[in-house]
Amino acid sequence: MPRTILLIAHLSPPSPLSAARRTAGFAKYLGRSGHRVVVLTSKVSGSGPIEGAARVVRTRDVMASNLNWRKSGFEALLGQAKGETTTTVAAPPPSRLEDVVVPDLALVGWVPFALPAALKLAREERPDVVWTTGPPPSTNFIGLALQRRLGLPWIADIRDGWRFERNHSDFPLAPQRALDAFLDRTLTRSADRVTAVTRPIALDANERLGARHATTISNGFDLDELETLAGPPPDGLLSPGRHSLLYTGRLGYAKRSPVSLLDGLRALKRDEPETAARIEVLFAGPLRDDERAQIEAPDLAGMTRVLGSLDRATTMRLQRATDTLLLITTGNPSETGQKLFEYLAADRPVFVVGDRTEAARIVTEAKAGSAAPMEDPVAIAQALSDLVNGRTEIAPDGIAQRFHYAALAAELEDEIEAAIGGSSATTIDR
Give Cβ neighbours of residue 282 (< 8 Å, ≥ 6 apart): 237, 238, 244, 245, 246, 247, 304, 305, 306, 307, 322
Domains and CATH numbers, the chain: 4-220+404-421 (3.40.50.2000), 228-400 (3.40.50.2000)
Amino acid 240: pLDDT:
93
Backbone angles phi and psi of 85, in degrees to 5: -100, 140
- Nearest-angstrom CA–CA distance, 243 and 321: 11
- Asked whether the beta carbons of 429 and 215 are under 8 A apart, the reply is no
Per DSSP, what are the bridge partners of residue 411? none
Convert the pLDDT of each residue in 195-225 to its tens digit: 999 999 999 999 999 999 999 999 999 988 8
Within 10 Å of residue 411's Cβ, how many Cβ atoms? 17
Convert the pLDDT of each residue in 37-47 to its tens digit: 999 999 999 99
pLDDT at 424 over 80: no
pLDDT at 15 over 50: yes
Please report the sign of the dihedral spanned by the C-alpha atoms of residue 178, residue 207, residue 405, residue 91.
Answer: positive
Amino acid 99: pLDDT:
80
Give Cβ neighbours of residue 100 (< 8 Å, ≥ 6 apart): none
| Mean of the per-residue pLDDT values of the chain | 89
Q: How confident is the model at residue 379 (pLDDT cuts 50, 70, 90)?
A: very high
Q: How confident is the model at residue 430 (pLDDT cuts 50, 70, 90)?
A: very low
Nearest to 140 by CA among 170, 101, 103, 171: 103
Burial 5-27 (b: 16+ CB within 10 A, else e): bbbbbbbbbebbbbbbbbbbbbb
Q: What is the DSSP string of 331-364?
A: --TT---HHHHHHHHHT--EEEE-TTSHHHHHHH
Helix axes 139-150, 111-125, angle to 10 degrees: 40
Lowest mean pLDDT among 48-62, 166-180, 416-430: 416-430
Q: How many residues does the chain have?
A: 430
Amino acid 120: pLDDT:
98
Nearest to 356 by CA among 331, 322, 392: 331
Strands 129-134 and 154-158, bridge-based pairing: parallel
User: What is the arithmetic mean of pLDDT over 333-350?
Assistant: 90
* H-helix segments, 62-161: 71-81, 106-109, 111-125, 139-150
- Nearest-angstrom CA–CA distance, 209 and 215: 14
Q: How confident is the model at residue 91 (pLDDT cuts 50, 70, 90)?
A: very low
